[in-house]
A and B are shown apart, each in its own frame.
Chain A
Amino acid sequence: GAVVSQHPSRVICKSGTSVKIECRSLDFQATTMFWYRQFPKQSLMLMATSNEGSKATYEQGVEKDKFLINHASLTLSTLTVTSAHPEDSSFYICSARDWGSGTEAFFGQGTRLTVV
């Protein structure tokens, strides 16, 4: 099946710094990628939809200026958590659609962010 690679898998950063998370579709082109946040023992919460070559669409309540999303190519989307605070600590997961099939969404391995 299609592979979505997310990096890094774990990151620890200090409060006030920024962290970038990369999401790559390895064997297909992804016009649309999704970014989720997941708290322990909870479901995935959609943060934003990233569209190649255009601005991301953010879900209600998600701060655009804190969670910067860039989808510069058909295989790469990045999520930058700016001026991170401890409450931003969470598990972030990306998902990409296979442009060819148009059906399935494949998920990355997730990134565990800890802000200290």
Chain B
Amino acid sequence: TQLLEQSPQFLSIQEGENLTVYCNSSSVFSSLQWYRQEPGEGPVLLVTVVTGGEVKKLKRLTFQFGDARKDSSLHITAAQPGDTGLYLCAGLLVGSGAGSYQLTFGKGTKLSVIP
């Protein structure tokens, strides 16, 4: 059972369109991160959200953490070809304790933005 479910798994859109990617769980997270990974590279951290209901903006990207801290979304406005990549959500489970430093990762959403 995947603790963090991402949807959709694949997304192909035209340049200029808007899109939303979802990250859902039945578990509560103390924080949640979004990463972008380009082909042949490691994931790069985009944002961390910590507070339930929190909204963060990074240029054309808007990240939201659910009120119950069980889910998150990433919205991209006017997508550009440079947004192409694999988007991963990852979270730190509540109650992990001081001895547990592992993030739980979703499987990712592969986004292609066609010029």
Please indicate whether A and B come from the same complex rather than being unrelated chains.
no
| Chain A interface residues toward B at CB < 8 A | none
| Chain B interface residues toward A at CB < 8 A | none
